[in-house]
Structures are given as C-alpha cells and as structure tokens.
Chain A
Amino acid sequence: MTPAELRRIANRIRRRDVQAVFEAGAGHIGGEMSVIDLLTCLYFHELSVDPADPLDPERDRLILSKGHTALALYIVLSEKGFIPKQEISTFLGHRSRLNGHPNRVYVPGVETNTGPLGHGLPVGVGMAKAAKLDRRSWRTFVITGDGEMQEGSNWEAIMTAAQFRLDNLTLIIDHNRLQQGASLADTNELAPFAPKLAAFGWHVEEIDGHDPAGICRAVSRATGTPDKPKCIVAHTNKGHGISFMSDNVAWHHKVPNVEQYEQAMAELAEAAE
C-alpha cells in the first residue's frame, strides 16, 4: 500500500476514534491519536494476519501493550474485518466486548490482554522465543508507551530478548514524551531511548512515528541486525492531527465537548482532502 493510501486510512481511523470517544464519553484520545499511524502501517502494510483465520499459527503477532488505547486497535481490527465496523458504537457499552482495554478471549485479533502497563513486552519475548524454538518465520511486534517504559518489567524483557537473540521481535516505543499526569521529563525521564536499548544489545531505529513511509521501512524485515531484537523509537505527538490536543498532556483521557468535537472532526476532515 502507498504512503498516501495509508495516510487516508489513518485519517479515517482517527475520525472514527474521536467520534467513539465523544459518544462513549470516555477513552484515551491523546495516546490513540499518537499510535494510529503505527497501527495502520503495521496492519495494512506489514503484518501477515487473516481475519478469516485469526488464530492461524503462522500469523504475525502484534501486542498493543499500551492497552489504554484499545479503541484505536478495535477500529483498526474492524477496518481489517476482524470485527464488524458497526460494533465500534458499542465501545464501553453495557455487556459490550469492547471495554476500555483489549480482551483476547472475546475480540478476535487481540493476542493478549493488556491494560496494566508493562505486560506486553515480556509476553512478546515469549512469543518470539516460541517461533525460534519451532524455527518459524512469523514475527512479533510490541507497541509500548514511553511512560510505560518506566515499568521495570520492560527492562527485564529487554535483557532477556537480547540474551535470546530474538531478531524476530520488534519493540516500537510510541515516544510522545508525555505520560498521564505530566511529561516524562518532569516525572522519570527515559529519553534518549536509543542509547539505552543499544547498550542492552538491541538494533535501534529512530523514526517519525507519523510518517507512513518511514514507519513501513523501519518495521520491514529489510532493516535490522541478525541475532538482535529491534527497537523502533517512534517520535510522535500525543493528540496528533488535532491542533488543540497535540502535545497537550491534558488530553491523556479528556473527552471533547461539543465544540471541541466539531473542531476536531473539521480539522481531520480537512486533513483528509
């Protein structure tokens, strides 16, 4: 798929996301806008996954470790045909399977249940190790938040992945520089990520996380180092695509009012043209 096509899909997903947050009255809109380009490029360009056979043993695995942005994943899965598009309107509704954090037991395409931060990468290491044990070629991708990287479990997994030479594992850090209550710089600064991962023995790429061409290049098999797990530090903006949300920590889980909703949708519609 071309970068222009990916951009168009991502824009459509952003609009559906903003609408669903507005209608449900809850959601993590900032982190969703931040991660949507990454998810779109992975699902529409790179991943080998089949909605008709969501548990195909040979499929690629994607873990959205920053599970609070589940809505973005649900919309991508609906665009791919894993769940019906009209089901997005049940988000957070009574007895809906689309709750605030993804659940693999009920939602096809979800690989593991996330929500508590710092769970995705260890599970991803296990997946990648299983593929190695069986000499299979499927790949594992894990997307974490940058604030999420403060959880110690990630660094235990980073250590293990290097030791196991998991070059079939890709960690993508959604590096929007903000966490829930403040910037990373004002909480526990982890930037720069690249030298830290490199010090643990990982292959590291730094990209603009909103540029489809750059994302597709970085996630492809073409980049990497044999025997090294790959980390992509994706420089992103929380709230990307909506002027008043972009880079604004207040929008971690704020819900737009009517005027804000209309402005956000108008800006996204304009960007689509």
Chain B
Amino acid sequence: MNAPFDAAQLHDCRDAFVATLEALAEANKHIVAVCNDSVGSSKLVGFRDRFPDRLINVGIAEQNMVGVGAGLANGGKVPYVCAASPFLTGRALEQIKADVAYSRTNVKLVGISSGMAYGELGATHHSIEDFAWIRALPNVPVIAPADRVETAAAVTWAAQHVGGCFLRLSRMGVPDLFPADHVFELGKANLLRDGGDVTIIANGVLAHRAVMAATLLASQGVSARVLNMASVRPMDAQAIQSAARDTGAILTCEEHTIFGGLGSAVAEVVVDSCPVPMTRLGVPGVFAHTGAANQLLDDFGMSPEAIASSATTLMKRKA
C-alpha cells in the first residue's frame, strides 16, 4: 500500500508548522527560529523573509544550535529550534538533557522529517529512536501530531506552554483527521473511532493508517476503537485504562523502534494498572533497509491490512 490516499488529500505537516509559527511570530516579537543550515528542509524560507533577524542559523552545528536555543530562552526569547529530527535529538541529546530538560529552559524542539520520512537516505537519517531518547528526560513533553490541524494546534500550544517540549513532525503527506477548530491538550488522547472489541493506539503518520485498519476491521465485523496518542509523555493513562477495560486488548502502531517508544509507554501503563494482551507494531529493533517511507511502513507490518490482521490475531489472546 504505497499511496493510501489521493495525493490531493495529503498534506505536508511542515507547511502547517511554519504557517502557524509565522502567525505566532507576528503577534509575539520574542518568538525566534533557530536552525542548522537546512532552512529549506525546515521550510523556514518564508519565516526568514518576514523576520530576517529572527531566523538564527548557526550553521551545521546541532549541539551548538540547542545550546544557543537555551541561551536565547534565558534572554527572554521563545526559540523554536528546528532541525532534521535525527540530528536534533541524536546529535544534541546531551544539550537537550542538560540545557533544556535539566535547566528547565523554554526551548521548543522541533524535529523535522522524523521517523522514516527520509526513507531512502538510510538509517542515519531515520529518527526512530527519538521517542525513547526524549521520553526518558523529565520536563520535555513529547508530542507527535497526526495531521496538519493537530500540528498547528500543537505549535500554538507550545508557544503558551512555559517550558521545553519536543514536537515530532513528519514530511510525509497525511490526510486530515481533525476538524479545523481542534484544540491540542497535552496528555490527552483523542478518540478517532469508538469500538468495543479491540483498541488501536497510534500517533503521527500512523494515526490515519490505524483509522483505515479500523474501517477494514468493521467490514469483517470487528469493532475497533482508535485512539490518537500525540502525547507520548505525559501519557493519557485514563484513556488507556478505559480502553483496556472496554475492549480487553490493545494494539499500538508507531513509526519508531518498538523499544522505548509509544508501545512501550502504553505497556508501562497497562502493566502497572490494567493488564490486558497487547501487541506493539513498529520497527522491530533493526536499522531499516532501503525504501521509500510508506514502503518501509508496509514492510514493517503497518499497512492498514497488516494492522487489521495483527488486531484480529491479538483478539484471539483475549481472556
């Protein structure tokens, strides 16, 4: 399943990110963008044209970039630090820990083209460890929006949130899932579809695939609940507990290694408070082979058909 939708229905969430950022920057002169050479890949050309002195390009130097962001925050600025997610989170992880999380600075970390969006460029350019890395740190909410509406809502939320956060954005086209007036709430799951037989929890570019899987399941007489879990930290424990109670089985899908990401975070809640059978779909602890982003998701068992079939298999384990 390479193109789940017509190209016309698919939207690059980076566009919603920069449109929102530019609007916020218009209203708040303290908002600045910090980047590492990749002005184009972060879609910051428009921002630079409108606010030339507020686009702070530190060059190809990501550790420096995050440190500079922390300093700007100390000086009263609201920095959105934007870079390809593997280099932002991987290269500058200790800066994120010490300068943002531990120092509690008001730095908005924006991971662009996260997950396997850079499919063919190989594992160095994949960011399928970032949930695990950043989720391990206190004080930095981890948020993976599912469509352009939720992206815009999360970028707006971040501006008024006092403190750091990590927005995990993709460049893969995704269809709209949320109504235009959707408001982002940290730590709150969204019910994308109700159901009683099994729950599918997803976020980011997997959310619409989960919805498609639920539609397929419905045609097979299975009623699947779909939760969008943009907040990987903090988690909506209540929504997970209700899902466990109401449906008795939970399947997670993520564009991330299955070690330490969304599935692990959900499993922590399940083990602690509501044990039910679970299956975690994601990248099974390997460096991905060469392939286009959507192809890789399919290869790792996350086509809508494969998600649906994993859900059916999981249901057989219900008590």
Contact = CB atoms under 8 A, between A and B. Distances in A.
Interface of A: 24, 26, 67, 92-101, 103, 113-118, 147-148, 150-152, 179-182, 187-188
Nearest to B288: A99
B290 A98 contact: yes
Contacts of B41: 180
B37 A67 contact: no
Contacts, number: 79
Contacts of B60: 117-118, 147-148, 150-151, 179-180
B37 A99 contact: no
9 contacts: A26-B120, A67-B124, A94-B292, A98-B290, A101-B125, A148-B60, A150-B37, A182-B37, A187-B37
Interface residues of B, number: 28
B124 A94 contact: no
Contacts of B124: 67, 101, 113-116
B121 A181 contact: no
A96 B60 CA distance: 29
A116 B290 contact: no
Contact of A100 (B39, B91, B125): B125
B63 to A, nearest CB: 6
A226 to B, nearest CB: 33
B161 interface: no
B290 A94 contact: yes
Q: Which 4 A-B pairs have the closest CB atoms?
A: A115-B124, A188-B59, A100-B121, A99-B122
A182 to B, nearest CB: 8
B312 interface: no
Given A67-B124, A115-B122, A180-B38, A95 B290 contact: yes
Interface of B: 37-41, 57-61, 63-64, 86-87, 90-91, 118, 120-125, 289-292, 295
Contacts of A92: 120, 290
Contacts of B122: 99-101, 103, 115
A93 B59 contact: no
Contact of B37 (A94, A98, A101, A179): A179
A103 B87 CA distance: 18
Nearest to A115: B124
Given A99-B290, A150-B59, A179-B59, 17 more contacts: A94-B292, A96-B290, A100-B118, A100-B121, A101-B121, A101-B122, A101-B125, A103-B122, A117-B60, A147-B37, A150-B37, A150-B61, A152-B63, A180-B41, A182-B39, A187-B37, A187-B57
